[in-house]
Amino acid sequence: MSQDEIFAQVVKILTPYVKNQEALDSVSAATHILDELKVNSARLVDVVLEFEDAFDIEIADEDVDSVETVGNAVELIQSKLG
Amino acid sequence: MANSQLSARARRGLAIQRAIAFALAPLSTLAVLVLLRGWLRLRLENASGARRTYRSLLSESDAPLLICANHLTLIDSALIGWALGTPAFYLRHFSALPWNVPEQKNFASTRLRRALAYVYKCVPVVRGGDRAGIADTLARFAHLLRSGEVGLIFPEGGRSRSGRVETDRAAYGVGRIVKDVPHCRVLCCYLRGDRQQSWGSLPARGDRLRISLALFEPKAEGSGLRASRDIARQITTRLAEMEAVHFAVRGGGEPS
């Protein structure tokens, strides 16, 4: 799966959780999930679990700590997909 | 979140904080009592029963103990500390005075508040802050539990805006701690004043508080994040059940 495909899927998963529609409209790899997209921090784990289901991967607790931006999420998923 | 991930410096820092907190405990625990009993004139229903239960839990096992409570006021951790032990008890068993994880912006925004948070065994966290910072706080907290200290956490992650336990707000961090601290026991604690209609800063003056406790063993299914989230949800669900019993026993109207 290409990086662009992963990016598109990540954004699709994030969309229902996003509170800042403007930031979503101009989303890029550098967009901060909590600060810019205003995803509730308590819901971040639900987002990551949806990544697990969508990409059929397992993400450890510690891995979530490195996810700040959309790009971080894409990189993490890409590394799990091998 | 292995113990080894917490640096020697961080462990030393916590040990120093505990020593200073202990040295000041005769004053700090008394000050809480004066605030709650003298100024706020709060009364506590079934205090002796709750204290007996807490003492018994501590004496029957050395396994780590994490108190998970509902959250309605800014001073809930002080209320729970008061409900579970007297100043004399905490001076004899200082590990029983729970550590807690307050929101940094509420308790560590000024020098005085930072000092108070330090003395009252707090490890402040920035809610929704950067993940590495939160992970560091969780690692410190887990280290304290493994070291025989009691921890107190509010699994909803903040004061309930509806005035009721919000099970869908379960912060997965609590599940992560329980999962990562071997043999961790969870003591669910539901505390509420009769006049506590919703969330706020302080309980109403002269209010009567009721506390209920339940030792709870969350069962994690699966692994990783899913298990952490399941444990957190089980805990908030248990608290919601205790809340239902609270209102059933107390009778009267529900909070607006």
Please state which of the ranges B34-38, B65-69, B100-104 shows the lowest mean pLDDT: B100-104
Q: How many CA atoms lie within 13 A of A67 on its CB side?
A: 26
At B159-185, the pLDDT tens digits run: 888 889 998 888 888 998 998 899 999
Beta-carbon contacts of residue B121 (< 8 Å; ≥ 6 apart): B17, B18, B21, B97, B98, B99, B100, B149
Q: Report the residue from A41, A64, A68 with minimal CB separation from B225.
A: A64
Distance from CA of A66 to the nearest CA of B (A): 7
Find chain A residues with C-beta within 8 A of B233's C-beta.
none
At residue B3, the pLDDT reads: 45
At residue B253, the pLDDT reads: 52
Please state which of the ranges A4-8, A75-79, B3-7, B97-101 shows the lowest mean pLDDT: B3-7
Please state which of the ranges A21-30, B52-61, B78-87, B242-251 shows the lowest mean pLDDT: B242-251
Q: Looking at the predicted structure, is the pLDDT value of residue B39 above 60?
A: yes
Beta-carbon contacts of residue B25 (< 8 Å; ≥ 6 apart): B87, B90, B91, B94, B97
Phi/psi at A38 (5° precision): 60, 40
User: Average pLDDT of A53-66?
Assistant: 87
Find chain B residues with C-beta within 8 A of A58's C-beta.
223-224
At residue B256, the pLDDT reads: 42
The residue among B105, B172, B236 with the most chain A CBs within 10 A of its CB, best to mutate, is: B172
Q: Report the residue from A42, A46, A58 with minimal CB separation from B224.
A: A58
Residues 34-73 of A with CB under 8 A from B: 34, 40-42, 45-46, 48-49, 52, 58-62, 64-68
Please state which of the ranges B61-70, B116-125, B219-228, B242-251 shows the lowest mean pLDDT: B219-228
At residue B81, the pLDDT reads: 97
Kindly determine whether residue A67 and residue B131, on different chains, have CB atoms separated by under 8 Å: yes
Q: Please say whether the beta carbons of B58 and B93 come within 8 A.
A: yes
At A11-44, the pLDDT tens digits run: 999 999 999 999 999 999 999 998 999 998 778 8
Distance from CA of B230 to the nearest CA of A (A): 11
Find chain B residues with C-beta within 8 A of A67's C-beta.
131
pTM of the predicted structure, to 2 decimals: 0.88
Q: Looking at the predicted structure, is the pLDDT value of residue B106 above 80?
A: no
Q: Looking at the predicted structure, is the pLDDT value of residue B2 above 50?
A: no
Kindly determine whether residue A68 and residue B131, on different chains, have CB atoms separated by under 8 Å: yes
